[in-house]
A and B are shown apart, each in its own frame.
Chain A
């Protein structure tokens, strides 16, 4: 029997039951499409987050007060946690050579009031370099002034949302707002930016760092951002910052250093896991599709019992009967797989069109795996009904009415 004849015979049998064939094709197609689409969503999320982080600057070392890890240092030395101060930040800029720019950060929430309107917003206390480190763009006015003398000035830069909420259409530049108990003059408005890594910069007010520490009555900085010249200088900068702060804090290792790399790696791991989980869910639907194929083939075998008996009486061998049913299963799964891939690519295209910033790209490995698995599942679940068909006793099969 030539392969062409075998294919024609099996395809003819499938055409004989259009609805059943169509439904099981649909099952496989949905399975394959969900594998490909869900993994490309996971991959898209990973790429999106990675992209967001690198837009924030990858040459960043973040200094946090306090040590989050347990270390072997004896409690006599590390018993006292020192504050992270503006002076620490200045020392880093002065003495750590790779450090290009630093931005000390103080953080708090306060009611901001203009005339009758008041709004609770996050207040960031920082210096002029924050503009460059965080890649902030201004809509109007200017940013916080540089220099030591300016750190206590009562000026502020407001986010786009704060401007619309408090000032409506009015020009806020030069106006005076009340932040907590103190008055600050508005000198700049940030361009709208949207939520970026959990921070809504549009709904924030930025003031000089010393003014912020005074306002919130804090002694320690929330964080120090240190920007180095290039990614390659990060390890050296980390070591130098650690050494410097240990020296300044009397030998205590009481700060935590984060780099974008480590944050990125963590996110990469989490999102990789997410992709794997999505792929797992999708694999379940592919397995269900395989069961669908098995069901269709079992129904086909019992419905075509007489045909199988006839074939045996005509001298068709058991192997040929197995081949007929396996080819039917293979046709179902490959055709379904192809339809599923087409649907997945179309769906990814639509998503890309709707959310241009979200890179939905079906990963090659997922495409290959989905096709391979659907074919494998088809053959696996087709094998049992095919063997059952081949074992039928021709007389009993023919006697079935």
Chain B
């Protein structure tokens, strides 16, 4: 639960004071999906920085799960940034000298997560990297061999969602899988037995393959 009350943020630009936020009050319940829009200079980034505990308000209170953030010291704020908040930056801010896997691993390294657990969690993220590599050339057919084989069900569902998103944009998607739940999701299903197609079925769908987006 995020609660903001009368948040103001002033910046000193040269001699003059610029008010980036003037008395923002809002509540965002857990599990909410909230968008912040507005012209540039309207204070969107400033608000996001305050929500992310990267910046402190000039006045007003910010309560995260009932705790007043202003009362916390540097280490407690670091802990919040490390464990409670994930931040996707406008320019991604990937560390160029590190591999994709090492970039994903970075916060876990500093949080002291065990090596083995780190490797496991990183492998989830690598599935999306593999997917990005497969589609970066703009192919028209996407083949996936056991895409969820090494993932737990939550991560598997994410990858399936990504794959189906590609399909919705017109990519032909062919998935080999053991998992009947995933197999069942496809509109066109094949079953191979002894090297021959034993079963073929189609779901009549309104969303027939359309033009590519």
Q: Write the residues of chain A forming the contact surface with B, with a CB cutoff of 8 angstroms.
A: 1-2, 5, 9, 12-13, 16, 306-307, 309-320, 394-395, 398
Contact = CB atoms under 8 A, between A and B. Distances in A.
Interface string B72-107: 001100111111000101000101011000000011
A320 B89 CA distance: 22
Contacts of B54: 312-313, 394-395, 398
Given A394-B54, A395-B49, A316 B97 contact: no
B81 to A, nearest CB: 4
B112 A314 contact: no
What does DSSP make chain B's interface, helix, strand, loop or mixed?
helix
A313 B54 CA distance: 7
A315 B111 contact: yes
B10 interface: no
Contact of B93 (A1, A5, A320, A398): A398
Q: How large is the interface on B (under 10, 10 to 19, 20 to 34, 35 or more residues)?
A: 20 to 34
17 contacts: A1-B111, A1-B112, A2-B112, A5-B112, A310-B95, A311-B110, A312-B54, A312-B81, A313-B54, A313-B93, A315-B81, A315-B111, A316-B78, A317-B74, A318-B74, A395-B55, A398-B54
Interface string B33-59: 000000000000000010010110000
Nearest to B110: A316
A320 B95 CA distance: 17
Contacts of B81: 312-315
Contact of A5 (B78, B79, B109): B109
A318 B110 CA distance: 11
B97 A313 contact: no
B52 A313 contact: yes
B85 to A, nearest CB: 8
B97 A314 contact: no
A314 B110 contact: yes
What does DSSP make chain A's interface, helix, strand, loop or mixed?
helix
A304 to B, nearest CB: 9
B90 to A, nearest CB: 9
Contact of B78 (A9, A13, A309, A315): A315
Interface of B: 49, 52, 54-55, 74-75, 78-83, 87, 89, 93, 95, 97-98, 106-107, 109-112
Contacts of B111: 1, 315
Given A12-B97, A307-B95, A310-B93, A315 B79 contact: yes
Contacts of A316: 78, 82, 107, 110
B150 to A, nearest CB: 24
Contacts of B82: 314-316
A343 to B, nearest CB: 29
Contacts of A318: 74, 78
Nearest to B85: A315
Contact of B110 (A1, A16, A395, A398): A1
A1 B107 contact: no
Contacts of B106: 311, 314
List 10 A-B pairs, minimum CB-CB distance, nearest first.
A315-B82, A315-B81, A16-B97, A314-B107, A317-B78, A316-B110, A310-B93, A5-B109, A315-B78, A394-B54
Contacts of A394: 54
A317 B110 CA distance: 9
A333 B93 CA distance: 30
Nearest to A319: B75
Contacts of A310: 89, 93, 95
Given A314-B81, A314-B87, A320-B110, 10 more contacts: A1-B112, A9-B109, A12-B98, A307-B95, A310-B95, A312-B81, A314-B82, A316-B82, A316-B107, A317-B78
Nearest to B82: A315
B93 to A, nearest CB: 5
B109 A1 contact: yes
Residue picked from B52, B74, B109, most chain A C-beta under 10 Å: B109
Contacts of B109: 1, 5, 9
Contact of A13 (B83, B97, B112): B97
Contacts of B112: 1-2, 5
Nearest to B52: A313
B149 to A, nearest CB: 29
Contact of A313 (B75, B79, B87, B95): B87
Nearest to A320: B110
A307 B96 CA distance: 9
Contacts of A314: 81-82, 87, 106-107, 110
Contacts of A313: 52, 54, 81, 87, 89, 93
Contacts of A319: 75
A290 to B, nearest CB: 26
Contacts of B78: 312, 315-318
Nearest to B86: A314
A1 B110 CA distance: 5
